[in-house]
Structure 1
């Protein structure tokens, strides 16, 4: 006899990477989940799950078995929901900083939703890095250096940092770097490229006394520049729409080259097994390539 219940329990444990989370999802106790796992292992004749400290991970056999059954189990779930008259759907939870969420990801999400009508999105906009052992987050677009251990990490895109302002403040290519000292400079204090980097690259050691405006969120710095409050130094990734619509211009004739990757796709390796995560990662990689291709980073 095929142990369908035990297989579904194993699928939930492998997908959620947690016995406790699987138990909550299934509405049973963790001990009931563990019993089903042990029964499945006995029937198959090999270990599928092992404990590492207080966490669990799939064994090599468990990884292979999950890959074999995942598509079929998801098909059964979707078919059951259809026959019940419900729209089959699954929830994908994405965490990202408020700036990348509102300035880059959100305008693109309609295309993902149109292509994946069976996936619902929860977008969690916060600067706090995800504790994947505690937070029910599938994948994160994380700001930083990319140096985090124990996780799947890949760069989103390499970004170009440029000074920008409202066209009412200065025209496109109207200024030299030295002219910036006469303007209020808008600082995004958590950005990985700061004004001193630009001045150092331009060979200007003493900027004198300048007016400054500080923000702890990049999207606020961009919006302040649109309002004509000063000149901001930001990533073209974060102000794509403002540059395309002419709300912001690059006032320097010669912009020092400043390129860095600040946004990373991050999740536990186990989450890569989730079909919704795979589909999102494939899609967001395509979006990043398209963004590079249209010349926003040139």
Structure 2
């Protein structure tokens, strides 16, 4: 059945966002009585209640919460499309979400080249360690570290990833680590649990030790960190041996700040994936960013991890 106009849904979304008729009225330059009238009429047309009116505040009903999720999502898509049309597609702002580790070690150092290609396109980068959730953290696209399973979303593999130990050159020399993994028995093993979904901080090291044909008991001393950067900083400072991600650690190795003391790698089925909502995947600014990412990948040097 036909119901409310676009403007009525817009008013509903404004009120739902702040849960205040007063704030919404000020933002929309309307009176509170006018907003109340529009909402009552909207509720009559829809056939269900949107808000619960309490003494000093309002709250969304379950039906109102469900409608708000859909309305806000689709309004965002419409607003993005209007912005693209109005600003000739590659103006405005591109909103990118990324895991903090990938943003700091891979993405941000390369953004200068994206700016050179698209100087009129602004960029807002949000670094979040949580799982991709466009309702909770809106963005045009996300770059996530995971297994590639994103139900209801479009995703493509950007970079595959393998794990292997990293440490400072001085620490490797002190413990005789080069091509001698049995020497790990006397080392402090550093764990990053940022990307581990289960409560098992030793899982990455245990997987690598198995891949290297070493018993789990090889590692007796452990420190765990909730962020990859902390483990890498600890390794660079000579605290111990961290389980590194090859794609993120390779430049530190190239600069001589870290080394890969062993050739053995462990693939746990994770990589860096670009994730978009299906209605956003064809936006010109999203396509421009994806094209630039592909060029950056093609410019990366080939080669497998080495122990040198």
Task: Note whether the superposition's TM-score is higher than 0.5.
Answer: yes
Aligned equivalents of 1:117, 1:175: Cα separation in 2: 47
Look up the match of 1:231.
Answer: 241
| C-alpha distance in structure 1 between counterparts of 2:192 and 2:135, whole Å | 31
Once residues 126 and 192 of structure 2 are traced to their aligned partners in structure 1, the CA distance between those partners, rounded to angstroms, is 21
What does the per-residue CA deviation read over 1:41-63, in whole Å, with 9 as the maximum and x for residues that have no partner?
Answer: xxxxxxxxxxxx743799xxxxx
Q: Give the aligned partner of residue 106 of structure 1.
A: 108
Q: Which of 274, 277, 288 is 2:283 aligned to?
A: 274
Gaps in structure 1 of 5+ consecutive residues: 1-9, 11-18, 32-52, 59-65, 80-87
Displacement of 1:74 in angstroms is 4.3
Measured at CA, do residues 28 and 96 of structure 1 come closer, stay the same or move farther in structure 2, by a change above 3 Å? Answer: farther
Counterpart pick for 1:243 among 236, 244, 253: 253
Give the whole-Å Cα distance in 1 for the aligned partners of 2:10 and 2:297.
35
Instruction: Give the Cα separation in 2 of the matches to 1:131 and 1:174.
Output: 42
- TM-score, length-scaled by structure 2: 0.67
Q: Do the aligned partners of 2:164 and 2:264 also contact (CA within 8 Å) in 1? A: yes
Distance 1:76 1:282, change over 3 A: same
Any residues of structure 2 matched to 1:77-116 within 5 Å, and which?
77-78=87-88, 89-116=91-118
Q: Which residue of 1 aligns with 2:294?
A: 285
One of 189, 196, 212 as aligned partner of 2:206: 196
- The reply on whether 1:294 has 2:294 as its aligned counterpart is no
**What TM-score does the superposition give when structure 1 sets the normalisation length?**
0.69
Kindly indicate whether the alpha-carbon contact (under 8 Å) linking 1:92 and 1:122 is maintained by their aligned counterparts in 2.
yes
Residue by residue, what CA displacement relative to the aligned partner does 1:58-87 show, whole Å, maximum 9, x if unpaired? 9xxxxxxx9xxx79x8465359xxxxxxxx
| SS, match of residue 104 in structure 2 | helix
- 1:214 aligned partner: 224
Per-residue CA deviation, residues 213-266 of structure 1 (Å, 9 max, x unaligned), is 1111112211211111110111112223311101000112x4245364322111
Partner residue in 1 for 2:200 = none
2:234 partner SS = helix
Secondary structure in 2 matching 1:120: strand
Report SS of the residue matched to 1:271.
coil
Q: Counterpart of 1:169 in 2: which secondary structure? A: helix
Structure-2 residue corresponding to 1:158:
160
Match of 2:190 among 168, 186, 202: 186
Structure 2 unmatched runs, 5+ = 1-5, 15-27, 39-65, 197-202
Q: In 2, are the aligned partners of 1:164 and 1:233 still within 8 Å (CA)?
A: yes
- Change in CA separation of 1:20 and 1:296 when aligned onto 2, cut-off 3 Å: farther
- Distance change in 2, residues 1:295/1:98 (3 Å): same
What's the CA shift for 1:272?
Answer: 1.1
Q: How many Å apart are 1:296 and its aligned residue?
A: 6.0
Deviation at 1:273?
Answer: 2.4
CA contact (8 A) 1:155 1:261 kept: no
- Do the aligned partners of 1:95 and 1:126 also contact (CA within 8 Å) in 2? yes
Shift of 1:163: 0.8
CA RMSD of aligned residues (A): 3.8
